Chain A
Amino acid sequence: MTFWSLFKRNRSAVLGLVILLAIVFMAATAQLFFPEDPFRLIGKPMSSPGENGFLLGSDSLGRDVASGIAHGAKTSLLIGLMATVVAVGFGTIMGGLAGYYGGRIDDLLMRVTEMFQTIPSFIFAILLVAIMKPSIESIVIAIAVVSWPAVARLVRGEFLSLKTREFVQACHTVGMSDIRIILGEILPNCLSPIIVIGSLMVATAILIESGLAFLGLGDPNIMSWGFQIGAGRTLLRSAWWVCTFPGIAILVTVLAINLVGEGLNDALNPRLRERT
């Protein structure tokens, strides 16, 4: 069966994909529908939703909440995706080397991942961003630093079980180099779990990013959902909409990505489908 027909069988995953595509569309067209800078004060402050031409209201300074959400979508998706790419890339290299060569490298890696599992990761991310100064790069690095060990462990496990298989031994006998075996033979065989963990990691990364931005550790030049909520929390009594809508945006985005991730898991690991 083709990948799509397998994926299609999971209804909620298709729903997640549709929502995710809508959010991507919103991020891509933010500039079109809201050409103004989302930080600009463009109208009467504290307008409730639907009032004074604000679809979702305005905050205490007269910034458009809807515009912030549209532009914030770009930030969330971009940071989530970049952090995941860095984490998955680094984690795959580390896990692959440890699993393939074993021995000292493996020992070292296991100690490091153990340490990372012990360190409270969110506080670690806070520290890293605070020390590097908040910017897109530092946020991406911080999220990647706390996320890569999970990938490394997964890839290590896959490599450990694959390297003893016959087709790999056959490659050794014909004199293939290590690098070719790793990249050309083993890695393609463990892409499915990497794709699944990567897709779920985007969701976690978006949650971490919004938490950092909420605490005031977002890039100050870029609109993000966490920043909107953090800025609106003092207005809870008088303007509930400032906090509410960006939060729903985060919730829907993360939910959609998780659904897609589970759908990918079902489609790519058919053996596991019956388990849950």
Chain B
Amino acid sequence: MSRTARRLRYVLKRLLQALPIVLAIVVVNFFLLHMAEGDAVDVLAGEAGSATPEYMAELRAKFGLDQPLPVQLLVYLKNVFSFDLGYSFRHEMPVLDLVLDRFVPTLLLMVSTILLAVGFGIVLGLLAATGLNTWRDTLISIFALVTYATPLFWVGLMFIVIFALNLGWFPTSGMKNVAAFNDTWSWANIKDVAHHLVLPTVTLSLFYLALYTRLMRASMLEQAGMDYVTTARAKGLTENRIMFVHVLRNALLPVVTMAGVQVGALIGGSVIVESVFAWPGLGMLAFEALFARDLNLLLGIFLLSALLVVAVNLVVDIIYSSLDPRIEVG
């Protein structure tokens, strides 16, 4: 079979493998929704102040809660696969519209965070591994240890105190100055958004930076003990060439994999960071939904973020398999 055909088959296979996971996530979502909706009827009935049995039954019928469970599940599946995620009663908008509306800011935050964390993590891990057991290594390891133990929301608040309130270098919150620029792609607007993006990005990337630094360091050390390094040394290559050309390339692979795996955790972190900095993305929306007890919306966000992780993992796998020819794609 030709290479392209094999690759195509691999992509198809991975897509098929992802399908049961997607289905399972939707089913979990349904049961959570089921637990929450029973609640919602009680809450709505309580708010209306007239919790007669007839009214409760009417509400249940309205939500389809009087149907048997399997029927409800099928209806739910049908809705989800036709992109209907329900209705947010607090925002008086379909959940899907709300979620899509907030998707871009979160994507912006996540992409910049991954770039920063992976980039600096690789550099720091490299510096630590090349200066093994020197003050540089110790310093970087202590930095990684401390940031690994720091709660994100607290770092965010401390950054606000130091860099926004005291020094005034960055804005405290939001994504842009109120209605300053209408044109999305104007230079002034991009600069404004970037200025607002700095603190949330740095905050969110700290934890992952620690992770990638440690991973990169361990990965470099592991590779440095391999046979091919001995061979390269025997050939008379310089240490620098061995480190930066041979070892570095191989050491990067686990870091790339980890970056894919960590996307799920990153979304969780963005709930915290976005609510600290009032960054108008999915995380902030989740925080608002939490406050308004809008579980329908919260579940919609949950579902979408889980699907996003599946998609990212798929893409990473496919990129990865074409980066590393040793991986069997057959």
Are A122 and B153 within 8 A (Cβ)? no
Q: Of residues 201 to 223 in A, which have CB atoms within 8 Å of B's CB atoms?
A: 203, 207, 210-211, 214-217
**Which of A119, A128, A210, A230: most chain B Cβ within 10 A?**
A119
Contact residues in A for B217 (Cβ distance below 8 Å): 276
Contact residues in A for B161 (Cβ distance below 8 Å): 236, 240, 243-244
Q: Does A9 contact B (CB under 8 A)?
A: no
Contact residues in A for B305 (Cβ distance below 8 Å): 120, 123
Contact residues in A for B86 (Cβ distance below 8 Å): none
In angstroms, Cα B235 to Cα A257, docked, is: 46
Question: What number of A residues sit within 8 Å (CB to CB) of B?
Answer: 43
Interface secondary structure of B, over-half rule:
helix
Q: Does A255 contact B (CB under 8 A)?
A: yes
In angstroms, Cα B9 to Cα A116, docked, is: 26
Q: Does A127 contact B (CB under 8 A)?
A: yes
Known A-B contacts A120-B306, A126-B271; the reply to A229 vs B264 at CB < 8 A is: no
In angstroms, Cα B149 to Cα A251, docked, is: 6
Are A203 and B149 within 8 A (Cβ)? yes
Are A115 and B302 within 8 A (Cβ)? no
Q: Does A237 contact B (CB under 8 A)?
A: yes
Interface secondary structure of A, over-half rule:
helix
Contact with A along B16-43 (1 / 0, CB 8 A): 0000110011001000100110010000
Q: Does B108 contact A (CB under 8 A)?
A: no
Contact with B along A236-272 (1 / 0, CB 8 A): 1100100110110011001100110000000000000
- Listed in ascending order, the chain A residues whose CB lies under 8 Å from chain B are 111, 114-115, 117-124, 126-128, 130-131, 203, 207, 210-211, 214-217, 226, 229-230, 233, 236-237, 240, 243-244, 246-247, 250-251, 254-255, 258-259, 275-276
Task: List 14 A-B pairs, Cβ < 8 Å.
Answer: A119-B302, A122-B265, A122-B269, A126-B271, A127-B302, A210-B151, A210-B153, A214-B151, A229-B151, A236-B161, A247-B157, A251-B146, A254-B149, A258-B148
